[in-house]
A and B are shown apart, each in its own frame.
Chain A
Amino acid sequence: MTPDIFLFWLLTIVTLGGGLAVILMTNPIYSALALVFTMVGIASFFITLGAYFIAGVQLIVYAGAVMVLFVMVLMLFDLKTEIAAFTRGLFTGALKIFSVGVMGGLIVGAIMMSAGSLDENIAKVNPEIEASMSPDAPTKLLGQALFSRHIFGFEALGVLLLVIAVGTVALSRSRGGTHAKQ
């Protein structure tokens, strides 16, 4: 077993275990903590793939975001109701099965559509991809790609984040937080 394979399996266990814990834990606090493990695991995956910059950004952005989620859970949720709501009931059971179905479909679709894209020869065909594989290039290339070709998506994401911020403020200002009754 080479170190790479060992690392891959170790990180896979951590990431998938964290991901499973996020949905299987009844207590939202534990879910949030497990999400941190998943995020750190994904960042480590990026490091093993040589994408250091994205790994760092993954840590800063997502780990920080989960932090906020954690605080939201503590401040806005009524933990006892939340645990009760996610443990029993026909509706939540159906919801869970539905979500598992959607997620499974997504995963199968992603695997089927990405067949061939992991081919090693693709780097030789596409010079841009080949250039982005040198150890010093990624950050600069990433910046150029973000601010030229993907500028619309980049800005749209910015707007989306703004909407989320406004929505959070609106939600937290209504009486009773997420459990407000109209």
Chain B
Amino acid sequence: MGKDLFEISVNGIKLILIFLMMVQAVPILVWLERRGSAFIQNRFGPNRVGPLGLVQLLADAVKFLNKEDFAPDKAVKTLFYAAPIFALIPATLAFCAIPMSVPLTIGEYTFRIQGYDMNIGIVFILGVSSLAAYTILMAGWGSGNKFSLLGALRASAQIISYELALGLSIVGIIMLYGTFNLTEMVNAQQGLLQFTALGHTVQTSWLPNWGIFYQPLAAIIFFAATFAESNRLPFDLAEGEAELVAGFHVEYGGFKMLMFFIGEYGHMMLASALMVTFFFGGYLIPYATPETVHSWVHATLIESPVGANILTTLLHFISFNIKFAVFLWIFIQVRWTLPRFRYDQLMDLGWKTMLPWALGNTIATAAVIYFVA
């Protein structure tokens, strides 16, 4: 974790900060979701508590904490109470592996703006986030309720089906960049779009070198599959209010339900961050490499090298967050725009449409890399 006490403690605090960043983004997202849905449906939304209704979620959290803590009579108590706690873990662990800015160099220390840098970033994220399905099954089975169990079974079938398309759509990206490391992937997207095909070098004058221009199909499949993974509309069959009341969290109230909420939003954030990292240049600022940004900051704004380093990191962090926020907004917009799928449509889409296309994309990418580049 570091070579001396200072570096180790900074890295430890960083992990806590990333967790808090994820958890604290949830109230803002819920506010955005409620106000956004109201905007889409021509209503007002929460606008009474605090400026623009921003404090509404704080009030809600206090209310949730004060609610009676109960478990149904037929519930399996251990699983029932463990499920909401485990719901937080996968998304948090996976989110820690996302690089959010250029490494910050202060003196002899270099701090990465990410929880931990792993050579197998993608494999780790896929593996950890696949554990999320268990919390849903634990909740569904532990509640001792038929609706919960049906919701949990639907969720597990859905997650198993869409994980295939999700994983296969990433294979194209891995082949393109030739690495599992997320930071290396981001670095590979620097500068303007430029590639070599059949001996000719093609250079565009204004398109950034982002993954989406190489792998548009993978981007679409990946984004659609992440909707299914995070159980949001149009794929929220697990909750389907019309037929299952609220699916796997029928029996949950108060803060336990809120923890499922945080887990769901965590998956949404993870999906947005991965979209940005794979297809939209990660923390990079378009038309500028970290070096040019650093020299510009150093020449025009701040004299001291440490200050310039900090400001460069901050600028890239803001760049990452702007892209990140755009995708979070798309998640919210889609949720309030599209209706829910029917169950057979969901399975058809997963197995008969997205899986073959993702496989085709993998083969096509491999062929192009082998024969053309």
A and B pair up: yes
Contact B127 A139 (CB under 8 A): no
Q: Is B221 an interface residue (CB 8 A)?
A: no
Q: Within the complex, which residue of A52, A64, A71 is in contact with B124, where a contact is CB–CB below 8 Å? A: A52
Contact B153 A56 (CB under 8 A): no
Contact B157 A57 (CB under 8 A): no
Cα separation A139 to B153 with both chains bound (whole Å): 35
For B156, what are the chain A residues with a Cβ–Cβ distance below 8 Å? 67, 70-71
For B119, what are the chain A residues with a Cβ–Cβ distance below 8 Å? 52-53, 135-136, 139
Cα separation A58 to B126 with both chains bound (whole Å): 11
Cα separation A163 to B296 with both chains bound (whole Å): 61
For B123, what are the chain A residues with a Cβ–Cβ distance below 8 Å? 52-53, 56-57, 60
- Using A36-B134, A67-B133, A74-B149 as known contacts, say yes or no to A59 and B160 having CB atoms under 8 A apart: no
Instruction: Give residues of chain A (46-79) contacting chain B, Cβ–Cβ below 8 Å.
Output: 52-53, 55-60, 63-64, 67-68, 70-71, 74-75
Cα separation A55 to B153 with both chains bound (whole Å): 27
Most chain A CB within 10 A, of B131, B157, B159, B163, is at: B131
Q: Is A33 an interface residue (CB 8 A)?
A: yes
Least distance between B4 CB and chain A CB atoms (Å)? 16
Least distance between A58 CB and chain B CB atoms (Å)? 8
Q: Type the 1/0 row for B114-151, where 1 means its CB is closer than 8 Å to any CB of A.
A: 00001110011011101101100110010000000100
Q: Is B180 an interface residue (CB 8 A)?
A: yes
Cα separation A71 to B133 with both chains bound (whole Å): 11
Q: Within the complex, which residue of A33, A55, A74 is in contact with B134, where a contact is CB–CB below 8 Å? A: A33
Q: Is A11 an interface residue (CB 8 A)?
A: no
Contact B131 A70 (CB under 8 A): no
What is the chain B residue whose CB lies nearest that of A67? B133
Q: Is A40 an interface residue (CB 8 A)?
A: yes
Contact B126 A63 (CB under 8 A): no
Cα separation A155 to B213 with both chains bound (whole Å): 34
- Using A33-B138, A74-B141, A139-B180 as known contacts, say yes or no to A60 and B157 having CB atoms under 8 A apart: no
Cα separation A50 to B74 with both chains bound (whole Å): 44
Least distance between A64 CB and chain B CB atoms (Å)? 6
Q: Is A123 an interface residue (CB 8 A)?
A: no
For B141, what are the chain A residues with a Cβ–Cβ distance below 8 Å? 29, 74
Instruction: Give residues of chain A (74-115) contacting chain B, Cβ–Cβ below 8 Å.
Output: 74-75
What is the chain B residue whose CB lies nearest that of A136? B119
Contact B153 A59 (CB under 8 A): no
Contact B127 A59 (CB under 8 A): yes
Q: Type the 1/0 row for B54-86, where 1 means its CB is closer than 8 Å to any CB of A.
A: 000000000000000000000000010000000
Q: Is A43 an interface residue (CB 8 A)?
A: yes
Contact A52 B149 (CB under 8 A): no
Cα separation A137 to B134 with both chains bound (whole Å): 33
Contact B157 A71 (CB under 8 A): yes
What is the chain B residue whose CB lies nearest that of A27? B76
Contact A57 B127 (CB under 8 A): yes
For A136, what are the chain B residues with a Cβ–Cβ distance below 8 Å? 119
Contact B134 A67 (CB under 8 A): yes
Least distance between A161 CB and chain B CB atoms (Å)? 14
Contact A56 B127 (CB under 8 A): yes
For A67, what are the chain B residues with a Cβ–Cβ distance below 8 Å? 130, 133-134, 137, 156, 159-160
Contact B128 A59 (CB under 8 A): yes
Contact A60 B126 (CB under 8 A): yes
Cα separation A33 to B180 with both chains bound (whole Å): 30
For A74, what are the chain B residues with a Cβ–Cβ distance below 8 Å? 141, 149, 153
What is the chain A residue whose CB lies nearest that of B118? A52
For A40, what are the chain B residues with a Cβ–Cβ distance below 8 Å? 131
Q: Can you pick out 5 interface pairs between chain A and chain B where the beta carbons lie within 8 Å of each other?
A: A33-B134, A36-B131, A56-B127, A60-B126, A71-B156
Q: Which residues of A contact B (CB under 8 A)?
A: 29, 33, 36, 40, 43, 52-53, 55-60, 63-64, 67-68, 70-71, 74-75, 135-136, 139
Not counting A33-B138, A60-B123, A60-B126, a sample of 7 additional A-B residue pairs whose C-beta atoms are within 8 angstroms of each other reads A40-B131, A52-B124, A53-B180, A60-B167, A67-B133, A67-B137, A136-B119
